[in-house]
Chains A and B, each alone.
Chain A
């Protein structure tokens, strides 16, 4: 059925995020790049926990048929990793706000040149 499309999405997200961090000059784009890598790794962690034809691990929704449940542990790890993403994002954005207040520009090249 949908053979390995989630893994392709994971690799695409991570590479786009990495491209944004390395080659983009605007600070906000770098922050967006980190968030993209974050969501790529989260997607990878979630796709590891799926069994074909499985149901969410909630016992009330388990119909009488002997079908199997998706793995609960990757979902718990992804919950933690999402909240870590929120924390890192909040910190980075507040630093970007302060860099803009000090230097008046968001361009990485200018920020480094203004420093000297």
Chain B
């Protein structure tokens, strides 16, 4: 079937139009606005599915804004959608759709829901824009939209002082990070007078300024995706935001991770294997730098999660460890660029991005469900929920098995690939990774007993199950987790493999634009 070629533009324009309309629709009545927002996100998810079918079948899709054909030198902004950006867009649209369905009941008694749904739609548009764009400055603009709207959503509960402080810390860190990205873009623009990723990748000759720009970009985007030394903002903002916002933040952070991948593999693609004057090729030095940061963030994530008493902060530190796993796999993929196990590492890393978004997301939703019915979020005061919250308990079991990579769940499939490939690079890394998973399993078993089993607590005697819509939302993610866990081959061959090839094959990306592609 022929898919209209303006689909990439619609994928970002529809949520934007929805966001601008929501305040007006919200003045009519609340139920209509909720339906309107869910309708917009459902259309968006369908568009992303159409786009991904189109990209996976007929290769890279480009869309120029404002003109039919490409003028040389590239003046206009264009969207370049390859298998990797579509893979990330699928994650983003599923997670956002589930978050809005979940927040229908979860947010019922809060005020200011007009602005809440507007900001969620704006965050969707920003995140999807980051994933689909082919222009560096456009990436910076959408990065800024995502960070401003997620900062405002973190500060949603203005009556609790900690969430305001977490939002302030988040906005200061993202503002500085975004300014470093802008400075790096200015450096590249000053030298090559081009803003398009493909044109820049074609023009970069690895001068000393490009090294500075590369370091600034990796530092800023690493800071935004919560890697080790700069992850201070992550536990605060995930822990203090409402549960649906933590879920949305997970996918917003993954968009910055995608930005870092796009910079390393496509922007600096052809310079990646040059031997710098100190004899070490660029990709080995970057790879080992990322691996070192990843190992530090796994260790920090797991150890800090052990001593947490607040449920959501514990999951947030678990998320830091999971981001460490992703960067570990990507670092191995970069360090061993040409080898076979380097490619399996990259496949495992990309697959783990999808799995982590689902697992950590499900755990945040379970924490939200507990907070919804008991208004309690610290672990030592909880107990005996299994008696009257049966479904939430089952979903929690699925969630924490998946996070710690136990066979039937999807976490196992991607973590096995990561262990296998990091072992080939350096056995110690695989040992650290496996230890991290085991410790994560131990932490969550401890949480399971302290929160769900345990003696009956009089205060929670008449705790009732969460409403159907929240269970339905959590059910969707649980089914995806189990489906990916049981048929990993199916998912890897036709979604993850093309994404990895698109990322590795940057020359296809560049020649689509510069080499007279259209």
Contact = CB atoms under 8 A, between A and B. Distances in A.
A and B touch in the complex (CB under 8 A): yes
Interface of A: 14, 21, 27, 30, 34, 37-38, 41, 44-45, 48, 71, 73-74, 77, 80-81, 84, 87-88, 91-92, 95-96, 98-99, 102-103, 111, 115
Interface of B: 137, 141, 144, 148, 151-152, 155, 158, 161-162, 164-165, 167-168, 171-172, 175-176, 178-179, 182-183, 186, 189-190, 193, 195
Contacts of B144: 84, 87-88
A48 B186 contact: yes
A41 B183 contact: yes
Nearest to B167: A95
Nearest to A102: B161
A14 B176 CA distance: 11
By DSSP majority rule, is chain B's interface helix, strand, loop, or mixed? helix
Given A41-B179, A88-B148, A27 B168 contact: yes
A95 B189 contact: no
Contacts of A84: 141, 144, 178
21 contacts: A21-B172, A21-B176, A30-B172, A41-B186, A45-B186, A45-B189, A73-B189, A73-B195, A74-B186, A80-B137, A84-B144, A87-B148, A91-B148, A91-B152, A95-B164, A95-B167, A96-B168, A98-B155, A99-B165, A102-B164, A103-B161
B202 to A, nearest CB: 18
Contacts, number: 72
Contacts of A27: 168
B151 A91 contact: yes
A59 B115 CA distance: 43
Given A99-B161, A102-B161, A115-B165, 15 more contacts: A14-B183, A41-B179, A44-B183, A44-B186, A48-B189, A77-B189, A87-B148, A88-B148, A91-B152, A92-B171, A98-B155, A99-B165, A102-B164, A103-B161, A115-B161
Contacts of A73: 189, 195
A102 B190 CA distance: 45
Nearest to B189: A48
A107 B327 CA distance: 36
User: Which 7 interchain pairs have the tightest Cβ spacing?
Assistant: A102-B161, A48-B190, A95-B168, A45-B186, A98-B164, A88-B175, A34-B175
Contacts of B165: 99, 111, 115
B138 to A, nearest CB: 10
A24 to B, nearest CB: 12
Contacts of B162: 115
Contacts of B176: 21, 34, 37
B148 A95 contact: no
Contacts of A91: 148, 151-152, 171
Contacts of A41: 179, 182-183, 186
A30 B172 CA distance: 8
A74 B183 contact: no
Given A41-B186, A48-B190, A99-B161, A88 B168 contact: no
A34 B168 CA distance: 12
Contacts of B175: 34, 38, 88, 92
Contacts of A98: 155, 158, 164
Contacts of A115: 161-162, 165
Contacts of A92: 168, 171-172, 175
B161 A74 contact: no
A80 B148 contact: no
A45 to B, nearest CB: 5
Contacts of B171: 88, 91-92, 95
Nearest to B159: A102
B189 A99 contact: no
Contacts of A96: 168
Contact of A45 (B155, B161, B164, B182): B182
B497 to A, nearest CB: 37
A45 B185 CA distance: 9
A96 B152 CA distance: 13
A111 B117 CA distance: 30
A22 to B, nearest CB: 10
Contacts of A87: 144, 148
A103 B165 CA distance: 10
A27 to B, nearest CB: 7
Contacts of A103: 161
A96 B155 CA distance: 12
Contacts of B158: 98
Contact of B172 (A34, A48, A102, A111): A34
A48 B185 CA distance: 12
Nearest to B141: A80
Contacts of A81: 182
Nearest to B151: A91
Given A80-B141, A95-B167, A37 B179 contact: yes
A85 B274 CA distance: 37
A74 B164 CA distance: 35
A111 to B, nearest CB: 6
A43 to B, nearest CB: 10
Nearest to B137: A77
B179 A38 contact: yes
A4 B233 CA distance: 37
B79 to A, nearest CB: 18
A87 B183 CA distance: 19
A48 B152 CA distance: 33
Contacts of B168: 27, 92, 95-96, 99
A73 B138 CA distance: 13
Contacts of A14: 183
